[in-house]
Amino acid sequence: MALKFHGHKCPAMPMGLRAGLAAMKVLGVERAKDKELVVESETGEGHAAGCFVDGIMAATGSTYGKGNITKLRYNKMAFTLIDARTGKAVRVSLKPEFFEKALSSPFVQKRKEGVLPQDVPPEITNPQVERILNLPEGDFLNIGEVFNRKVKKGPTSFEVKRCAKCGEAVFTNKLKKGPDGGLLCIPCAEKVIGPGA
């Protein structure tokens, strides 16, 4: 399932998958069906970071679509998993020495040469992925102590109204009042009222 979701075979996605599963095990939780789990990912925008996050999402069920994962863009291979029902949380990161060594692997060398991940030969990719899938957690993950973290829940709306300027339907919790009292979507409010409206 995770490989199909991710789209190509690479070492970083199974790292995230294993890290997500390890965090869930520590918290004693199952994969989220809705918003039971929240992920605060410390990753950035790079290729390995995106693959790592896809693995975390596949494991935990926290997704951008459900709005229960955020990317902090610290450019670290780390995240915090929070059980929104109990407030219990755990931070998991790749061990620095493990990740530094992974970045000198034959797979990464091919990526540095501009080879697309799906075009890296299987004789390079497969052994690395198998190794990640079979490594003891302690060999590549730093798993922190469980701590308490409150989850901020934003307002949910099941009602829509049309924007007075563009006419598109907008969930009411994101409408802004315009200067003439009409309700505006965020892009129209920024054009009429200004940035940060």
**Mean pLDDT, rounded, for 179-184:** 92
In this prediction, residue 108 carries a pLDDT of 92
Q: Over 80: is that where the pLDDT of 94 sits? A: yes
Find the CATH number of the domain harbouring 11: 3.30.1330.130
Share of residues in the chain with pLDDT > 70 (%)? 98
How far apart, in whole angstroms, are the C-alpha atoms of residue 26 and residue 145?
A: 9
How many residues in total does the chain contain? 197
**Same-domain check for residues 22 and 111:** yes
**Same-domain check for residues 180 and 140:** no
What's the domain count of the chain?
2
How far apart, in whole angstroms, are the C-alpha atoms of residue 62 and residue 36?
A: 8
Beta strands (DSSP E) in 42-119 are 69-71, 78-83, 88-94
| pLDDT mean across residues, the chain | 93
In this prediction, residue 61 carries a pLDDT of 97
Q: Over 80: is that where the pLDDT of 154 sits? A: no
How far apart, in whole angstroms, are the C-alpha atoms of residue 118 and residue 141?
A: 26
Beta strands (DSSP E) in 9-158 are 37-41, 69-71, 78-83, 88-94, 141-143, 147-148
Kindly state whether residue 153 falls inside one of the protein's structural domains. Answer: no
In this prediction, residue 194 carries a pLDDT of 77
In this prediction, residue 120 carries a pLDDT of 94
Burial of 11 (0-12, 13-18, 19+ CB in 10 A): buried
Q: Over 90: is that where the pLDDT of 156 sits? A: no
Q: Over 70: is that where the pLDDT of 197 sits? A: no
How far apart, in whole angstroms, are the C-alpha atoms of residue 100 and residue 138?
A: 16
**Same-domain check for residues 22 and 72:** yes
Tell me the residue range of the domain where 186 lies: 160-192
In this prediction, residue 157 carries a pLDDT of 73
Q: Over 80: is that where the pLDDT of 145 sits? A: yes
How far apart, in whole angstroms, are the C-alpha atoms of residue 37 and residue 84?
A: 6
For the segment 20-56, what is each residue's pLDDT rounded down to a tens digit?
A: 999 999 999 999 999 999 999 999 987 789 999 999 9
**Same-domain check for residues 178 and 139:** no
pLDDT confidence of 155, banded at 50, 70, 90? low
Kindly state whether residue 97 falls inside one of the protein's structural domains. Answer: yes
* N-to-C CA span, the chain: 41
**Same-domain check for residues 127 and 45:** yes
In this prediction, residue 39 carries a pLDDT of 98
**Same-domain check for residues 137 and 170:** no
Beta bridge partners of 184: 176
How far apart, in whole angstroms, are the C-alpha atoms of residue 156 and residue 172?
A: 9
**Mean pLDDT, rounded, for 107-117:** 93
How far apart, in whole angstroms, are the C-alpha atoms of residue 69 and residue 82?
A: 10
Kindly state whether residue 154 falls inside one of the protein's structural domains. Answer: no
**Same-domain check for residues 95 and 132:** yes
**Same-domain check for residues 96 and 73:** yes
For the segment 60-84, what is each residue's pLDDT rounded down to a tens digit?
A: 999 999 999 999 999 999 999 999 9
Q: Over 80: is that where the pLDDT of 152 sits? A: no
